[in-house]
Amino acid sequence: MATEQVTTGQLTPDGSTATATTSIPHPLDQLSVFESDSARGTILKARGLNVTIQFRSIALEEPPKRELCRFLDLEHAGSLTAHTPRPARIAKVQYDVVRADKHIVYIESWVDVVERKEVEKRVIDKVHQAALTTNEFREFSDACFESPIYKEALAEFDLPDGFVVSIDPWPYGGPDADEIAPRYTQGLCFARDTRSGNEDSNHYGYPLPIIPVLDTYTKKIVRVDRLATGGKEDGLDYGTHTKDILSHCKPAEYVPELLSQPLRTDVKPLNVIQPEGPSFQVNGNLIEWQKWRFRLGFNPREGATLHDVRYDGRSVLYRLSLSEMTVPYGDPRPPFHRKQAFDFGDAGAGRAANNLSLGCDCLGVIKYFDAVLSEPDGKASVSKNVVCLHEQDNGIGWKHTNYRTQRAVVSRSRELVVQFIITLANYEYIFAYKLDQAGGITVETRATGIVSVVNIDPGKTSPWGNVVSEGAMAQNHQHLFCIRIDPAIDGHANTIVAEESLPMPMSREFNPFGNGYEVRQTPILKSKYFDASPMTNLTVKMTNPSKLNPVSGKPVSYKFIPSPSQLMLAHPDSIMAKRAQFAQHHVWVTRYKDRELWAGGEFTNQSQKEVDGVADAVARNENVDNDDVVVWNTFGLTHNPRVEDWPVMPVEIHQIHLRPADFFSANPAIDVLGTKNEASILSPGEEQCCASGDVQQNPTSHMQGTGPDLDPRSKL
Amino acid sequence: MATEQVTTGQLTPDGSTATATTSIPHPLDQLSVFESDSARGTILKARGLNVTIQFRSIALEEPPKRELCRFLDLEHAGSLTAHTPRPARIAKVQYDVVRADKHIVYIESWVDVVERKEVEKRVIDKVHQAALTTNEFREFSDACFESPIYKEALAEFDLPDGFVVSIDPWPYGGPDADEIAPRYTQGLCFARDTRSGNEDSNHYGYPLPIIPVLDTYTKKIVRVDRLATGGKEDGLDYGTHTKDILSHCKPAEYVPELLSQPLRTDVKPLNVIQPEGPSFQVNGNLIEWQKWRFRLGFNPREGATLHDVRYDGRSVLYRLSLSEMTVPYGDPRPPFHRKQAFDFGDAGAGRAANNLSLGCDCLGVIKYFDAVLSEPDGKASVSKNVVCLHEQDNGIGWKHTNYRTQRAVVSRSRELVVQFIITLANYEYIFAYKLDQAGGITVETRATGIVSVVNIDPGKTSPWGNVVSEGAMAQNHQHLFCIRIDPAIDGHANTIVAEESLPMPMSREFNPFGNGYEVRQTPILKSKYFDASPMTNLTVKMTNPSKLNPVSGKPVSYKFIPSPSQLMLAHPDSIMAKRAQFAQHHVWVTRYKDRELWAGGEFTNQSQKEVDGVADAVARNENVDNDDVVVWNTFGLTHNPRVEDWPVMPVEIHQIHLRPADFFSANPAIDVLGTKNEASILSPGEEQCCASGDVQQNPTSHMQGTGPDLDPRSKL
């Protein structure tokens, strides 16, 4: 994504034309097209001519922390030269090797792209399944065309004239305990009304109650599951599978030209204009803004990541990422117990990232970043505009009015937003990292898109969801996210402290009138998990015990309050719960380990349990006191759909706020001048009433001063 | 604040020049200056010449609900004429009657301002104290000048040269159980450095450890409390009260010209430009925007209130208000157990409202509203710009990309913001009601201003707060807010339903694979309180049981998820807790009663217990099923100050979201076209990469389609 200015080579922000000879990439740069293709070539050569290689992913393997820190220290010291030893540029290559006898082995190799050498290779046990590729999705419909059992199942229904079948491939979910599942995908079937001639006519209004299951190795439909269409009166039974299964269904259009209602005409334009340009500087993957400085990473699994995040030269975070999420559905009727997506591990947030458009996804002055991803043949390709960067105003940042003089000083809060948006079949997530001038970092998720629906018989209602359109029942489900915070609070040796505010007993000696409360600090010494506790105001502080704030005398820290959102509702003994241990507690504190990036483990696709995720990391029972620690925060929403979520749902927003707590010696935004915005105007018909100037005068407040200050010398 | 277009009289948005003869006020209009002065005259006349009247407040008494509803029904039916009977225009007048023998009685009278007739009068029991007035605050310093005991106390300390004393009067808080307290205020004392000649030099960096107590009736300082300055080693003892009590204290400047550090120079302007003007229409107190229509009220106690809130002609809320808040401090050392403000009941959010300035408090096209308040002599005066109205962009409202065609449809979320800001001595709150296009209403609070500090000995730290500046310890405290929601979900007969998502046991019959969960509805039949329960996803639904959603078959409703913020930490037996029952549970459901607007009761100032607040309302044990119900939601933050909160703290934001839940038949914002914003530009150095147009095309996404749709007729 970026290069340094060490050489005379041209800077190439998207990395797409960078070559090893014209510039030296930063260790956190994505692989360039050249580097990625180099890794491909190395693997093809190493595996030889007797096998076929099906590539799944080629992406940068970030350097081991020890190596990267050595580099970053030199970089921050200004000591980098063209001769500084650098971490090797390593590509992680994921691919299937298909032998002549059709036997398939999934392999992960690490390739030094400069040396063109395979430096490590790992054959993955058959118990694990690699993430799905778009290629496997593409094969789904073709396999259905060829499948007698699929055709037979579909023939049970009369589709209305002008409708065609449209299939959304999904991960298979967790196989049952006794099930032997090779590599499967399942297809959610809908019908699309072609009569408008508009290819964006929304098929989700017409759900078909069948799910074909594809063996992605043999490319055969192995089974077609029949889905229940009943209501609460039917229990787990199927309900009425009539032949005219779609006759009661209704259109669910959302593209403007197909809407049955007129569009609003009274939304007048609201433009964000930055006449002097943005306040940020971008140099390759390096972003600098308002005392913040960080590197932007991007990978096929997690999408955008932040690295080496510093404020005013001081280290705050080593790495910040969205690590995993799972979406379990709460409809107990088989096979919906396998309706559970891990959007990062099963598919890949980076691979699913939208190519963003100017003026559609954000306002103002926008900087876009591209990604280098890989095609099924392993060749690199550039995906344009997968991340956007812009500033926004977030209202008042701080304000105080001196009631004696009526002088108000107001400072607005400017935010820098790093945003990416992913589409997974019916659904979208909008992810943003927001940095502010007061040293805060917000991680925001917005859930939108089209809720997943199944067919329901006419007139019935269901305990497992809500009828959002006639014949379409949106199933109750949860979205459980996990963010990974690798803190570096003024260095890498940090301690996590759980701070609680607790009531105190009344006592003559310590709390005579009962108003006192205790703030109790509990340092986390060994890796562990714990849950949010809003009623004790549980606050997680990431502290550096070796560095005390000069004002308060307390360890410098960043803090966040873990949201007490509902955790995984599925029964702990269910496959659904077992494969998402990370979704069963809010906070996990682990000791840093290279490559341990994914809360649910590397292999979520078709898993029956979480392997090498946060639960296993915690189980190592390692020291995390004054050590290199990682904090994982799980949060989410239980989404029992509303009719208003149809046909495309308004965003459901969730935010986690990382905020300095005795990290600085004062409000870091106190130097943000409360300049009057000269472009704001009164609405028509009102005259200007207030003096302009860089501060605000309150001429007529009713809470005026208390008389003169008291001069102790003259008056006493 | 507004008039209707019934007469030919001129519309007078601020009400300041309205007279009874030129226009007919809307029943929810604030009193005009004319009306207010009419009420004053009526009371002066009624009480006669033998007494002195000290006015505290004159403001509109909103009409009884039955009368107002009758009027609103006619209004919405378009049947209003100049002859329509209207609710009487009633002023509530609060005042002290001072007899010749100095005996003082506090009285509340209700005056028909058109008939100039006192229609009701209530002599308030001595056990209650009226809210403080600014006049009482003003008298505080003068009383100190005159007080020997205050001078004696102050003489214990040497103030540095060039420093003067500055006193912030505070409500007295709850007297001790055995204390006979007439009408008191207490003064928090600081010293201000005058050497810069700048009157806005911040005195809060120099706290003095004394609190004079004023009898506001006799205007005498009755006592000077000495404050502890010790640290954790001192328990509840005083610590070291040295004569040079301020020698270790430091400046705490925040006005730009006094800052010791340079201001940032790299914040480039960000302007919100609305070339076609705002999308809202304002006509007096009537605001219409994006299918929303409501009346804006304003009163001295609550500040801005919303009334008769409708979307697309359908009733949603009868009234929405910030009802009360309390700020209890957790330092158990007397007299800090009386450090507890009720900013609405003790002082009045409307009276404390800032006069807002263009370009300082919000961006874009702004409409301001004025308030009519009363002076100590009872005469009405206009406070300018106490409420502002503007639109803002809140990012993406909904989005879906059809991965088969790569067509993205994106709709932005526009919000209408009704904002007011209050200053109470050191502290400020920014309150906003935000309406959105998807039928949502957000109530937002932002806490900012200067945290309350006390003197602490050099080098010590305290369990009761944090040293935020040398010598200044910011005490731990809580902010507990209560909003009052008077729903009118398609009418006034509503039922509150508590909805929880609950795990289910695994069972072959009902939940064979353990993924199912139950959504359980519990209607509230009798008035009651209950607490937030995030781990069961407790959602409060305000439903109309008589009206079913045509799609889902469920009662139409609006919902919110009560925030599980920490409740009052003070011991239940403490005076602090007893006077704020409302702060001890998150949700209170009561039957509507005229004039029952204040969660903590009318008289919070100097109270020892909550009287006629929500707890008493719930205790009536009334029917609230399919009835005229009110929902009260308490939320807040436990604020253990950070060094970063000094000298002025960055905003701490809290939001409550009221959202439609099966109220509409689809996403109400589906008709908001995802127009490309033509004013957004690429950051310098990037060329335009994407086609323009009103929809977004994703040319290179890696999650492309799954092949063609299946035509069942041609293929099968």
Nearest to A208 by CA among A172, A178, A241: A241
Q: Note the Cα A114 to chain centre separation in Å.
A: 31
CB contact under 8 A, B676 and A357: yes
- A278-291, pLDDT tens digit by residue? 999 999 999 999 99
Residue A335's pLDDT is: 97
Contacts (Cβ under 8 Å, ≥6 apart) of A521? A497, A498, A499, A541
- CB contacts, 8 Å: B678 with chain A: 269, 359
Residue with tokens 């102790």: A712
- The closest of A607, A545, A544 to A581, measured between CA atoms, is A607
The pLDDT of residue B693 is 35
Using an 8 Å CB-CB cutoff, list chain B residues near A425.
Answer: 403
Decide: B524 and B500 in contact? Cβ < 8 Å.
no
pLDDT at A135: 83
Section A129-136 average pLDDT: 90
Residue B267 has pLDDT above 70, yes or no: yes
Residue whose pair of structure tokens reads 């009755």 in the numeric block:
B222
Residue A238 binned pLDDT confidence (cut-offs 50, 70, 90): confident
Contact B419, B430 (CB under 8 A): yes
Q: Please list, in sequence order, all residues whose beta carbon lies within 8 angstroms of the beta carbon of residue A262, skipping any fewer than 6 positions away.
A: B671
Q: State the average pLDDT over residues B407-435.
A: 97
Q: Which of A398, A463, A674 sits opposite B650 (nearest CB)?
A: A398
Asked if B638 lies within 8 A of A449 by C-beta distance, the reply is no
Give residue-wise pLDDT tens across range A352-396. 999 999 988 999 999 999 999 999 999 999 999 999 999 999 999
Residue of chain A nearest B586, judged by CA positions: A535
Residue B5 above 70 pLDDT? no
Q: Do the Cβ atoms of A396 and B709 come within 8 Å?
A: no
Specify the pTM.
0.94
Q: What SS3 class is residue A227?
A: coil
Q: How high is the pLDDT of residue A46?
A: 97
Q: Residue A278 is encoded by which pair of tokens?
A: 């943005």
What is the token pair recorded at A66?
Answer: 């020890």
Cis peptide before A458 (omega within 30 of 0): no
Confidence label for B129 from pLDDT (cuts 50, 70 and 90): very high
Q: For B341-365, what is the mean pLDDT? A: 94
Residue of chain A whose alpha carbon sits nearest to that of B679:
A271
For the stretch A449-461, pLDDT in tens is 999 999 999 999 9
> Within 13 Å of residue A621, how many CA atoms lie on the same side as its CB?
0
Q: B403 to chain A: which residues are within 8 Å by CB? A: 423, 425
Residue contact B501–A670, C-beta within 8 A: no
Summarised one tens digit per residue, pLDDT across range B651-678 is: 999 999 999 999 999 999 999 987 788 8
Strand partners, B322: B483
For B548, the closest chain A residue by CA position comes to A643
Interface residue of B643, B695, B714 to substitute, partner A, most A CBs within 10 Å: B643
How many angstroms separate the CA of residue A473 from the nearest CA in chain B? 9
Predicted confidence band of residue B120 (pLDDT cuts 50, 70, 90): very high
| Among chain B residues, CA nearest to A574 | B514
What is the pLDDT at residue A686? 63
Nearest to A476 among B404, B511, B517 (CB): B517
Distances (CA, A) of B630 to B66, B489, B662: 15, 12, 20
- B673-690 tens-digit pLDDT: 877 888 899 988 665 443
Mean pLDDT of chain B: 92
Q: Which residues of A touch B269 (CB under 8 A)?
A: 274-276, 677, 679
Q: Which residue of B has its CA nearest to A336?
A: B515
Which positions of B are annotated as active-site residues? 343, 427
Please give the pLDDT value at position A19.
40
ipTM of the complex as predicted: 0.94
**Looking at CA atoms only, how far is residue A85 from chain B in angstroms?**
32
CA distance A191 to chain B (A): 9
B474-511 tens-digit pLDDT: 999 999 999 999 999 999 999 999 999 999 999 999 99
Is the CB of residue B370 less than 8 Å from the CB of residue B14?
yes
Q: Which of A29, A308, A343, A346 is catalytic?
A: A343
Task: Give chain B positions within 8 Å (CB) of A367.
Answer: 682-683, 686
Best of B399, B511, B535 to substitute, by most chain A Cβ atoms within 10 angstroms, is B399
Chain A residues inside the 8 Å CB shell of B649: 398, 667
Contact state of A176 with B513 under an 8 Å Cβ cutoff = yes
Average pLDDT, chain A: 92
For residue A304, pLDDT over 90 is answered with: yes
For an interface test with B, give the residue of A254, A299, A357 to mutate (most B CBs within 10 A): A357
* Contact call for B689 and A385, based on CB within 8 A: yes
How far B320 CA lies from chain A's nearest CA (Å)? Answer: 22
User: What distance in Å separates the CA atoms of residue B691 and residue B579, rounded to the nearest whole number?
Assistant: 63
Distance from C-alpha of B204 to C-alpha of B472, rounded to nearest angstrom: 8
Contact B53, B332 (CB under 8 A): no
Mean pLDDT of B175-198: 96
User: What are the tokens at B535?
Assistant: 């781990």
State whether A366 and B638 contact (CB < 8 Å): no
| Residue of A683, A690, A692 to mutate for B, most B C-beta atoms under 10 A | A683
Percent residues over pLDDT 70 in chain B: 92
Measure the CA–CA gap between B168 and B596, rounded to whole angstroms. 31
DSSP string, B649-668: EEEEEEEEEEEEESSSSS-T
User: Tell me: the pLDDT tens digits for A181-229?
Assistant: 999 999 999 999 999 999 999 999 999 999 999 999 999 999 999 999 9
Higher-confidence residue of A695 and A80: namely A80
Which of the residue ranges A133-142, B436-445, B529-538, B645-654 would you say has the lowest mean pLDDT?
A133-142
Measured between beta carbons, the chain B residues lying within 8 angstroms of A665 are: 643
pLDDT at A34 over 70: yes
User: Among partner residues A384, A512, A532, which is closest to B689 by beta-carbon distance?
Assistant: A384
Position B83 confidence tier, pLDDT thresholds 50, 70, 90: confident
* Active-site position among A172, A206, A318, A427: A427
Residues of B whose CB is below 8 A from A702: 134, 351-353, 373, 381, 383
Where residue A5 falls among pLDDT bands split at 50, 70, 90? very low
- Across the interface, whether the CB atoms of A331 and B363 are under 8 A apart is answered no
Helix (H, G, I), strand (E, B) or coil at A210: strand
Rounded to whole angstroms, the Cα distance separating B46 from A565 reads 58
- Is residue B17's pLDDT more than 60? no
A-chain residues near B647 (CB < 8 A): 666-667, 670
Span A654-699, pLDDT tens digits: 999 999 999 999 999 999 987 788 889 998 866 544 333 334 444 3
Average pLDDT over residues A244-269: 96
